[in-house]
Amino acid sequence: MSWKNVSESLCDVALALAVVGDRWTLLIMREISLGSRRFEEIQAQTGMSSLLLANRLKRLESDGVIERRLYSEHPKRYEYHSTQKGKDLDPVLLALRAWSLKYERCGSKKKRPAVHLIYKETGEVIDETWSVPNGKPFHFSDAQGTMSKEWRAERDANKLAFQAGKKKAKAS
Amino acid sequence: MSWKNVSESLCDVALALAVVGDRWTLLIMREISLGSRRFEEIQAQTGMSSLLLANRLKRLESDGVIERRLYSEHPKRYEYHSTQKGKDLDPVLLALRAWSLKYERCGSKKKRPAVHLIYKETGEVIDETWSVPNGKPFHFSDAQGTMSKEWRAERDANKLAFQAGKKKAKAS
């Protein structure tokens, strides 16, 4: 079974992984769910090369997971938005987040979740033990998020580093 | 942010992806959750090269997601088992399966799930709309699975193709 075959497998997990089964794709979906809409915003926060990001965005679009919306005519520029199919990946991201909160948080600066999430309907904190009440589907839009100061700083630093890299490339 | 940095990010989703964020890793966990314990069984059903699989298994072991158990002294041979941390990835696989059932199933031969799952406690069918009752943690051991005839055939063919490939490599 080669990777091509994975996308033709009968296994449901394999079929899903054929679309979203790499770190970059789910990081892109995380960025879009956080409200990053533009190519360079997503690039700055994922650290992907332009080529890699462009390829992944194209594939996600052709798989119906995201859609492009024109926001500038000259030059032509697009924003990226989740489709319903893309939003329905939120439970996958939530499950990864819960697992990470349980196992990957160690060391003092990592004690708090990167985004403190409150389920709007009930006011509950969404932590690693939380589950959606009454088995409803979960979407991040059902939650109110507050980014930790530390992660905000990390993201600001990503942005600055990205802009500095661009300036440097232009100058050389 | 390079990939190395992803594993040092404060973001919980990124931290989880640094451990399990590629197609192969989650396919390995799928195989182990299906009861494939031995190197060649996992290799036959994922189509990974020996080197790639050995690397991923080593990393999963050092990340505490799986553990090796000796089953033969001469030659030394190991079986691979999920740790609790590995079993706690089951909700991620379940969320991927649900998404796939909703969106990736098309064409006649793909109509049925690869594994028909029944939640033991309640007898409910685990489909794309199902959620764990009372917000309990989910593990595949809580479900009874029946593999579809079609996926069984696909797996048998994977096994035969792998064995034929090995024979051919030996002969040449």
Q: How many CB atoms lie within 10 A of CB B4?
A: 9
Work out the percent of chain A whose per-residue pLDDT is above 70. Answer: 93
ipTM: 0.90
Please determine, for residue A150, whether its predicted confidence score (pLDDT) is greater than 80: yes
Q: What pLDDT score was predicted for residue A110? A: 57
- The whole-angstrom separation of Cα A91 and Cα B94 is 10
Predicted local distance difference test score (pLDDT) of residue A105: 67
Q: At B4, phi and psi to the nearest 5?
A: -55, -45
B85 chain-A contacts, CB cut-off 8 A: 103
Between CA B109 and CA B97 the distance in angstroms is 17
The closest CB to that of A158, out of B1, B113, B148, belongs to: B1
Give the pLDDT confidence score for residue B19 in this predicted structure. 85
- The predicted structure's pLDDT at residue A20: 86
Q: Pick from A21, A109, A148: which is nearest to B23 by CB? A: A21
How far apart (Å, rounded) are the C-alpha atoms in residues B104 and A23? 20
Q: pLDDT tens digits, residue range A33-43?
A: 999 999 999 99
Fold of B1-88: Arc Repressor Mutant, subunit A (1.10.10)
Q: And the tokens for A46?
A: 């994922």
pTM, full prediction? 0.91
Instruction: Report chain B residues whose CB lies below 8 A from the CB of A161.
Output: 1
Residue B160's CB is within 10 A of a number of other CB atoms, namely 11
Question: So what's the pLDDT on residue A16?
Answer: 87
Record the tokens describing residue B1, joined without a space.
């942010």
- How is residue B172 written in tokens? 């040449």
CA separation for the pair A66, A77 (Å, rounded)? 15
Taking a contact as any Cβ pair under 8 Å apart, which residues of chain B between 134 and 153 contact chain A?
A: 135-137, 148, 150-151
Q: Which of B108, B97, B60, B135 is nearest to A124 (CA)?
A: B135
How many whole angstroms separate alpha carbon B56 and alpha carbon B40? 14
Nearest to A60 by CA among A83, A33, A40: A83
Is the pLDDT confidence value at A114 over 60? yes
Measuring CA to CA, how many Å separate A82 from each of A17, A28, B53? 18, 10, 33
Are A75 and A39 spatial neighbours (Cβ–Cβ below 8 Å)?
Answer: no
User: Could you state, in order of their start, the residue ranges of all structural domains in chain A?
Assistant: 1-88, 89-172
CA A11, CA B26: separation in Å to the nearest integer? 13
Using one digit for the tens of pLDDT, what is the confidence trace for A3-35?
Answer: 567 777 888 888 888 888 888 999 999 999 999
Closest C-alpha among A99, A46, A56, A53 to residue B3: A46
**Overall size of chain B counted in residues:** 172
Residues 6-45 of B with CB under 8 A from A: 6, 9-23, 26-27, 30, 45
The whole-angstrom separation of Cα A140 and Cα A90 is: 6
- Interchain proximity A17–B27, CB inside 8 Å: yes
Is residue B20 within 8 Å of B29, Cβ to Cβ? yes
Parallel, antiparallel, or unpaired: how do β-strands A77-82 and A115-119 relate? unpaired
- Mean pLDDT per block of 10 residues along chain B (172 residues) reads 69 87 91 94 93 95 95 93 96 94 68 90 94 89 94 91 88 82
